[in-house]
Amino acid sequence: MPTFTAITKLTSAEQAYSLSEAMENMTPEPMGVGVFEMEDGSNLWEVGGYFTDCPDDIELALLAQAFDATPFLVSELPEIDWVAKVRRDLSPVEAGRFFVYGSHDADKLPDGRVGLLIEASMAFGTGHHGTTLGCLRALDRLDLAGFRGRNVVDIGCGTAVLAMAAAKIWPQPVLASDIDAIAVEVAQVNIEANELTDRVRCLEATGFDHPDLQAACPFDLVFANILMGPLIELAPEMGRVTATGGHAILSGLLVEQAEQVLAAYVAAGFTLHHREDIGDWATLTLLR
């Protein structure tokens, strides 16, 4: 099956993420859209969409014009075993005591580490990205400081790596949710691969908008590794569903966005407990 890419460049991170959201509504719909800061010193951002059908040139031109982007470059990729390629390219990730790996690296799990198996075909959320890495480190810091999560939820869970990490170090079951049905399926596969089906339950939901999530609150730890806009929108609700003395670990935001997100959460009753910047990405650990 052919795969087509449509790639453009922008000068603004905010515009790049806005364009990526707009591309999700294209026809034909992309299999996925990625946003990357270019590492050539140009201060440009690259947005790329992946399609099984050739994208419409006119729609791409209109999007580029609307978001002040360069014209899209459309290419057809050679038919490559991408899963095999990812397996070759993705090495295990260590985040505190956590060790995130694919099944092809199962023999590399060190003694005494908490292993989290994420298959290469589900590469987003493997821990290679600064946001996931930051959240895992934040969880490790809280645990080492004596915090024990008894009612934990992972909002926008993706691969469910954060929910699984909490379930592996603490005895109580963990809830996870994602707005995307495919992400929920991916999460469920990972939960089963890690033998956590009785410990992690994944729901399809927008934010906390699910009766099971509402019934379970207040939470003493909330993960939300999403984007700046949804994080700010969730702040008032996050303040309501997080127990006094509980924590929220937030990421998916750029370093320059951290203060704006923090201000929204301070207004919702949180204080900053810890902040870590990894490359261009910030992770906030907040106390309610």
What is the residue extent of each domain of the chain? 3-77, 133-287
Cα(91)–Cα(277) distance, integer angstroms: 22
E strand or H helix at 264? helix 258-267
Cα(192)–Cα(139) distance, integer angstroms: 22
Binding residues for S-adenosyl-L-methionine: 132, 156, 178, 225
Of 3.40.50.300, 3.40.1350.10, 3.40.50.150, 1.10.10.60, the CATH number of 133-287 is: 3.40.50.150
**Residue-level pLDDT, tens digit, the chain, 288 residues:** 678 999 999 999 899 999 999 999 999 999 889 888 876 667 889 999 999 999 999 999 999 999 999 999 999 876 655 455 555 545 677 888 998 887 766 677 778 889 998 865 444 454 546 788 899 999 999 999 999 999 999 999 988 999 999 999 999 999 999 988 888 888 898 999 999 999 999 999 999 999 999 999 999 999 999 888 889 999 999 999 999 999 999 998 889 999 999 999 999 999 999 999 988 889 999 999
Counting every residue written for the chain, the total comes to 288
**Locate tokens 């899963």: which residue?**
83
Is CATH 3.30.70.260 the right assignment for the domain spanning 3-77? Answer: yes
Please tell me whether the overall predicted TM-score, pTM, comes out greater than 0.75 for this model.
no
Helical pair 130-144 and 161-169, crossing angle rounded to 10 deg: 20
Binding residues: 132, 156, 178, 225
Cα(277)–Cα(281) distance, integer angstroms: 6
